A and B are shown apart, each in its own frame.
Chain A
């Protein structure tokens, strides 16, 4: 079957750096996306990696290693507003229109 694994919860301190990992097992692979969802809110798109390496967007970076079927989201200079759930999603094999989603990582930030 196809699956994505990410930790269910991560705790970090305000101002610190945190990394959220995602490993995937899919029948095909086109790219890895990351989404943020605040409690009661809609998921919002953060980043997409189709090729190996690091993509940086402000305080957030996303990394992909296709040979290891692994990626991570790196959040720097953590702020309280970064407390949210973070989902990885893979555009994989099968239908060209589907994303396969991880179960989400709840990021708890302490002052």
Chain B
């Protein structure tokens, strides 16, 4: 079974803190993605990576950065957390764009 593991299910952080969300996949997939999910808005792509050290901006990259130093690990960084970044964050990996495998999500609350 493909496994995508996110480091935390729930996080509470203070405004202005630097936040790290970690994601690890065990299927040797080239592609990894970070989405945020908000009610009524579906999934919005923040960043994706198609190879180690490669990254591309998605639809809403502002306020976020990413790191992919190893193939299996893709990290999302909130440089200075703000309350409008309170959301569910989903990591995914895929060999084919059409079929992505998702982690369980991290529900981040910024207070």
Q: Which residues of A contact B (CB under 8 A)?
A: 8, 30-31, 33, 41-45, 48, 50, 87, 89, 91, 95-99, 101-104
B64 in the interface, Cβ–Cβ < 8 Å? no
Query: Which one of A30, A50, A101 lies within 8 Å of B43 (CB-CB)?
Result: A101
Complex interface: chain B residues within 8 A of A89 (CB)? 43
Whether A44 contacts B102 in the complex (CB less than 8 A), given A87-B43, A98-B58, A101-B43, comes out as yes
- Collect the chain A residues with CB atoms within 8 Å of residue B104's CB: 41-42
Q: Which residues on the B side are within 8 Å of A44 (C-beta)?
A: 102
Which A residues lie within 8 Å of B103 (CB)? 42
Point out the residue from A30, A42, A97 that lies within 8 Å of B48, measured CB to CB: A97
Q: How far is the CB of A63 from chain B (nearest CB, A)?
A: 16
Q: Which of A50, A96, A97 has the most CB of B within 10 A?
A: A97
Chain B residues in the interface with A (C-beta under 8 A):
4, 31, 40-45, 48, 50, 56, 58, 90, 97-105
The interface residues of chain B lying within 8 Å CB-to-CB of A98 are 45, 48, 58, 97
In the complex, 27 of the A-B residue pairs with CB atoms within 8 angstroms, ordered by the A residue number, are A8-B40, A30-B97, A33-B99, A42-B4, A42-B102, A42-B105, A43-B90, A43-B100, A44-B102, A45-B101, A48-B98, A87-B42, A87-B43, A91-B97, A95-B56, A97-B48, A97-B50, A97-B56, A97-B97, A98-B48, A98-B58, A98-B97, A99-B45, A99-B97, A99-B100, A103-B40, A103-B41
